[in-house]
Homo-oligomer: A and B are copies of this chain.
Amino acid sequence: MTNQNYDYDALRAQMQALLAEKRTTGLRSLLTEMNSFDVAEFLTELREDSEQLMVLVYLLLSKEQGAEVFAELDTPEQELIINSISDSQLGAIIEEMYVDDAVDLMEELPANVVKRVMRAATPETRTLINQYLKYPENSAGSIMTAEFIDLKKYMNVRESIARIRRIGEDKETIYVCYVTSADRKLEGVVTVKDLLLHDDDDVISDIMDTNVIYTHTTVDQEDVADLISDYDLLAVPVVDKENRLVGIITVDDIIDVIEAENTEDIEKMAGIVPTDTPYARSRVLEIWKSRIPWLLFLMLSATLTQMVLTHYEDALAVQAVLTAYIPMLMGTGGNSGSQASTAVIRSLSLGETEPSDVIKVIWREIRVAALCGVTLATVNFIKLLAVDRLLLQNPAVTVPVALTICLTLVLVVVFAKMVGSTLPLLAEKIGVDPAVMAAPLISTLTDTVSLLIYFQFARLVLRI
């Protein structure tokens, strides 16, 4: 694993010893040396033993560190702390927090706690938070922060650096500064690197880059993530409908967005309804609620396969051997389809494939499917006659039966790959999340068609 110059495990052991001896002064000085991420980890661990102890240790932190650690905690721990501190302490935390973190907090807390927090904030902060809360969920507006550095284009490098030195302390990033007009319109961007590499008397308007890559408050956070990742940005500015600069989104927040969006995609692809709570912290009932909808839907939609099988009951009675290969055919169809749908879904979400590529994708998948189908059918034909007929001594596995199974196999793979690759593209086109068109749904679809193909070939080849 990763090594750190300062060793979290050793620090934790030290802290636990100090805690046991109730030596708060030693504990406090140790805490100030730690990263807020690790302090949050420590508090979360502490909470498992004693909620009261967690709050007491939290209260040892300085105002600044307290706010930083608070932002790193999960909602249940945040709620515990809010419920244990005075309104003035709460107010101090809210004022120290970056607006985007405060907004995240408001979105997760129960309504009565939100009220108390909002009362504790200053009127300015309250207005700002309220304004942010109006942006749609997962939009650039909802994740941006108002703490950025703005410069004017008539300033020179010396004045700009002086301004950064004066107001930089509390900004999310000081390395990218935004040049705005008198009416707050975004005019350019200048990095601290640009400033340092120019002379003190150079003027911002000569240095700044006017080709600004920016985004709007209403843009989806996933698209913002693409911008930052494609153009290797440290931050992206966000403008409102009137093109006024209202906030920025920094790369560290975007990493969290990328991980969250990936988790959401992966969950959807497995037939799980995404929630905001991580699996490790979810309660049983929450997990049940996120899993049962798709299970129910898919179970009930299996009525289709059941009807096909009931319809061909007599055929199966004549050729009982066919039943044994149904799971293999359905399994291979499901796997072939989910490979194709997964590849397309991922490609869509990385922006490499567009819905307009549908013809290209289908043509490629047909060829892949033909290759896969023929490979599988050939191997299976040999296996049927060599293993099932000779080794396992099943005389019912005749050449016509093997032929029926293998012809079905080819067609099932082709059908599954075509459905698997086109459904996500279609979903994207009509504005549905393509991740839903994944393994579970594709399997249910291919299951039914596999059976229909199977019985058609059985009728054709075995004349049943």
A213 partner, pick from B35, B263, B266, beta carbons under 8 A: B35
Q: Mark A293-305, 1 if CB is under 8 A from B, else 0.
A: 0111011101101
CA distance A164 to B271 in the complex (A): 52
Q: Mark A309-346, 1 if CB is under 8 A from B, else 0.
A: 11001001100110111111011101110110111101
A15 to chain B, nearest CB (A): 15
**A266: which B residues are within 8 A, CB to CB?**
265-266, 269, 342, 346
**A299: which B residues are within 8 A, CB to CB?**
328, 331-332, 376, 379-380
Contact A216 B272 (CB under 8 A): no
Q: Does A37 contact B (CB under 8 A)?
A: yes
CA distance A376 to B387 in the complex (A): 38
Q: Does A18 contact B (CB under 8 A)?
A: no
CA distance A216 to B3 in the complex (A): 7
A359 to chain B, nearest CB (A): 14
Contact B364 A284 (CB under 8 A): yes
A2 partner, pick from B226, B252, B294, B317, beta carbons under 8 A: B226
**A192: which B residues are within 8 A, CB to CB?**
174-175, 192, 196
**A6: which B residues are within 8 A, CB to CB?**
211-213
Contact A347 B224 (CB under 8 A): no
A449 to chain B, nearest CB (A): 12
Contact B439 A278 (CB under 8 A): no
Q: Does A422 contact B (CB under 8 A)?
A: no
Contact A255 B229 (CB under 8 A): yes
Main secondary structure on chain A at its contact with chain B?
A: helix
A423 to chain B, nearest CB (A): 14
CA distance A371 to B288 in the complex (A): 7
**A335: which B residues are within 8 A, CB to CB?**
271, 294-295, 298, 440
Q: Does A267 contact B (CB under 8 A)?
A: yes
Among A21-29, A76-84, A106-114, A349-357, the one that faces the other chain is A349-357
Contact B291 A350 (CB under 8 A): no
Q: Does A367 contact B (CB under 8 A)?
A: yes
**A231: which B residues are within 8 A, CB to CB?**
35, 37
Q: Which residue of B lies closest to A285 (CB)?
A: B371
Contact B5 A331 (CB under 8 A): no
**A375: which B residues are within 8 A, CB to CB?**
288, 292, 296
Contact A1 B219 (CB under 8 A): yes
Residues of A379-408 whose CB lies within 8 A of B: 379-380, 383, 387-388, 392, 394
Please list the residues of chain A having a beta carbon within 8 angstroms of any beta carbon in chain B. Answer: 1-6, 33-35, 37, 161, 164-165, 168-169, 174-175, 186, 192-193, 196-197, 210-216, 219, 223-224, 226-234, 251-252, 254-256, 258-259, 262-263, 265-267, 269-272, 278-281, 284-285, 287-288, 291-292, 294-296, 298-300, 302-303, 305-307, 309-310, 313, 316-317, 320-321, 323-328, 330-332, 334-336, 338-339, 341-344, 346-347, 350, 352-353, 357, 364, 367-368, 371-372, 375-376, 379-380, 383, 387-388, 392, 394, 413, 439-440, 443-444, 447, 451
A229-B252, A279-B346, A291-B339 given; name 17 further pairs at CB < 8 Å: A2-B223, A4-B214, A34-B211, A35-B231, A233-B252, A270-B342, A279-B343, A284-B364, A285-B371, A287-B343, A292-B376, A295-B376, A298-B332, A302-B327, A309-B323, A309-B326, A323-B323
28 pairs, CB–CB < 8 Å, chain A vs chain B: A2-B219, A2-B226, A3-B214, A5-B213, A6-B211, A174-B192, A175-B192, A192-B196, A228-B255, A229-B259, A232-B252, A234-B234, A269-B342, A270-B339, A284-B368, A295-B372, A299-B376, A300-B383, A305-B324, A306-B325, A306-B388, A307-B392, A310-B324, A310-B394, A313-B320, A317-B320, A323-B323, A439-B439
